Amino acid sequence: MEENDIYSISAINNLIDKKISYCDDFKKIKIRGEITNFNGSYNSGHYYFSLKDKNSSISCVMFKLSTKSLDFEPKNGVDVVASGEVSFYKVRGNLQFRVRKMQEAGLGDLYIAFEKLKKKLDKEGLFKDKKVIPQYPKKIGVITSASGKAIKDIVNNIEKRWPAEIIVWNTTVQG
């Protein structure tokens, strides 16, 4: 790359894809992580999700042909060992892990910690006696210029809909 060269997005994405595609370090690898953001409801039959650990996550795709070999139902919070390769989706410029095989390894540590915290907070009564949210607010705060047209429109629209106290925090700009 020359210092003065200017690349198009397509050109730089093609270059990244080429580097990743030819690097053996990214092929035939196994990673362990917890499934998150699982979405298996596409008509194509592909699964899109992320695998995460304590510090990082990676976007994953498992194509329909590979999903047929699964002997469990993937869902958020499940700890898995996934085999595949790192790939680069040039159209969006996304790095992803292309999963070929996946085995269940139990519940993920993050999911277990979340459930443990939920139980603790429930025992403390933090999920009981939830306050009912009123249908309409009693007070509405607006941050805008007190002398602009925006505040007049806001006040008029609020007064048309329901009675509420309007508190204006004056700023030098409106919006």
Q: Dig out the tokens for 54 from the structure.
A: 């304590």
Q: Which amino acid is at 93?
A: G
Residues 6+ apart with CB under 8 A from 122: 128
Distance of alpha carbon 80 from alpha carbon 92, whole angstroms? 26
Distance of alpha carbon 1 from alpha carbon 21, whole angstroms? 19
Amino acid 130: pLDDT: 75
Amino acid 16: pLDDT: 93
pLDDT at 96 over 90: yes
- CATH 2.40.50.140 in the chain: give the residue spans: 9-122
Lowest mean pLDDT among 38-47, 61-70, 125-134: 125-134
Q: What is the pLDDT of residues 30-58, one digit of tens each?
A: 999 999 999 887 889 999 999 999 999 99
Taking residues 147-156, what's their average pLDDT?
Answer: 84
Q: Which amino acid is at 89?
A: Y
Q: At 85, is the pLDDT very low, low, confident or very high (cuts 50, 70, 90)?
A: very high
Q: At 103, is the pLDDT very low, low, confident or very high (cuts 50, 70, 90)?
A: very high
Find residue 85's DSSP bridge partners.
Answer: 98
Q: Dig out the tokens for 117 from the structure.
A: 């915290």
Taking residues 12-22, what's their average pLDDT?
Answer: 92
Residues 6+ apart with CB under 8 A from 137: 164
Distance of alpha carbon 35 from alpha carbon 99, whole angstroms? 12
Residues 6+ apart with CB under 8 A from 86: 20, 26, 27, 29, 95, 96, 97, 98
> Alpha carbon 108 to chain centroid distance?
18
Lowest mean pLDDT among 39-48, 114-123, 129-138: 129-138
CATH of 9-122, one of 3.40.718.10, 3.20.20.140, 2.40.50.140, 3.40.50.300: 2.40.50.140
> Alpha carbon 44 to chain centroid distance?
21
On average, the pLDDT of the chain sits at 88
Q: Which amino acid is at 138?
A: K
Amino acid 175: pLDDT: 53
The string of DSSP letters for 135-151 reads: SS-SEEEEEE-TTSHHH
